[in-house]
Structure 1
Amino acid sequence: MRVLFLCTGNSCRSQMAEAWTRHFWAGSIEAESAGTKPKGLDPLAVEAMQEAGVDISGQASKGMDAVNGRHFDLVITVCSVADENCPLFPGAPKIVHAGFDDPPRLAKGLMSGEEAMAHC
């Protein structure tokens, strides 16, 4: 099964979802992630995942051009912007929205950046 996690920046949520999927289902699920407007991997996401025992430091923020025309069985949008702007993919994969709070936005509230990442 091939799964794509899609969000706006491909900096945190989709990167973490890709990594957790690879961590727990290596060999049975091929996971990738991309963003509608990629902005680079968030260092706090790298740190939070490292603390959880999963290294994402080698992952890179990718745009839609990196996955356009590729076949996926499932596309999971993890933010409302990506859900509203989800492009079409070949083979008509199932598209599911599983929204998560944006850690940088959480950090602007009551939580520190580290607490926001741990919240994910």
Structure 2
Amino acid sequence: MHQELLDTVHALQWKNIGTERKEVLKPLVDFIQQKVNEGKVVNLNFICTHNSRRSHLAQVWAQTAATYFTIPGVHCYSGGTETTALFPKIAETLTDQGFTVFSIADTDNPIYAIKSGDNDLPIIGFSKKYDSPFNPVSGFAAIMTCSQADGGCPFIPGAEKRIPITFDDPKISDDTPDQAVIYAERSLQIAEEMFYVFSKIKK
């Protein structure tokens, strides 16, 4: 793992997650623990409306937390109720926090490779619908990262479990002087919660 990313991780306060938020995260902990206990692959699909901001942050940080805590067989995905594009500020924020992010296809819906270390398998980031062929079709947990997607998608085909873990949209800061700060804060909040989740998993 890149040293700058390790520095970011070591500064996270996942041990200080509040009681109310722990209850929100518990179903995800239970889902992962059950799969680990059964020796099965853990497929997690983080879903938001546009698959442009929060769902990508959750996917990246969950995969990074699984790697950090050496939880085997974890595969993280993301999707939306519609396809747009990964918002450039997300790539910039992840870069600032220690990831290597580079474009592998420069189109209206760019495709990024996101790496936590020089020899680590990259996470492929691009906007897609939750039921894209890129994502698992069955046996996965659908983690709803925004209330709009949670309310707008009452049924996710193939999902073994549906888990609402919603986050405020950093989009509210777009075109304001606070944009960089708000995106960084949201990314770190999501990171802390994903690290809390994986810190609870017993191998």
User: What TM-score do the two structures reach when normalised by structure 1?
Assistant: 0.85
**1:76 and 2:121 matched:** no
Alignment-derived partner of residue 59 in structure 2:
18
Aligned counterpart, 1:54:
99
- In the alignment, the residues of structure 2 paired with residue 70 and residue 43 of structure 1 have an alpha-carbon distance, to the nearest angstrom, of 28
Query: Does the CA contact (< 8 Å) of 2:43 and 2:141 recur in 1?
Result: yes
Shift of residue 110 of structure 1?
A: 7.1
Match for 2:79: what amino acid? A
Letter in 1 for 2:165: A
Identity of aligned residues (%): 28
Deviation per CA, 1:14-43: give whole Å up to 9, x if none: 001111111121443110000112220111
Which one of the candidate residues 141, 161, 169 is aligned to 1:102?
169
Distance 1:7 1:55 in 2: 24
Amino acid at match of 1:70: V
**Matched residue pairs, number?**
118
Match of 1:44 in 2: 89
Unaligned runs of 5+ residues in structure 2 are 1-41, 102-111, 114-124, 187-203
Which structure has the larger Rg over C-alpha atoms?
2
1:117 counterpart residue number: 183
RMSD: 2.2
- Contact 2:131/2:137 (CA < 8 Å) preserved in 1? no
Distance 2:57 2:161 in 1: 21
**1:35–1:63: 8 Å Cα contact kept in structure 2?**
yes
> Runs (4+) of structure 1 moved beyond 6 Å?
none
Counterpart residue identity of residue 102, structure 1 = D
Kindly indicate whether the alpha-carbon contact (under 8 Å) linking 1:74 and 1:96 is maintained by their aligned counterparts in 2: yes
Name the CA distance, whole Å, in 2 between partners of 1:71 and 1:53: 33
CA contact (8 A) 1:23 1:54 kept: no
Q: Which amino acid aligns with 1:11?
A: S
Amino acid at match of 1:24: A
Contact 1:38-1:63 within 8 A present in 2 as well: yes
Normalising by structure 2, we get a TM-score of 0.52
What is the CA distance between 1:81 and its match in structure 2? 1.0
Letter in 1 for 2:184: A
Structure 1: segments with no counterpart, 5+ residues: none
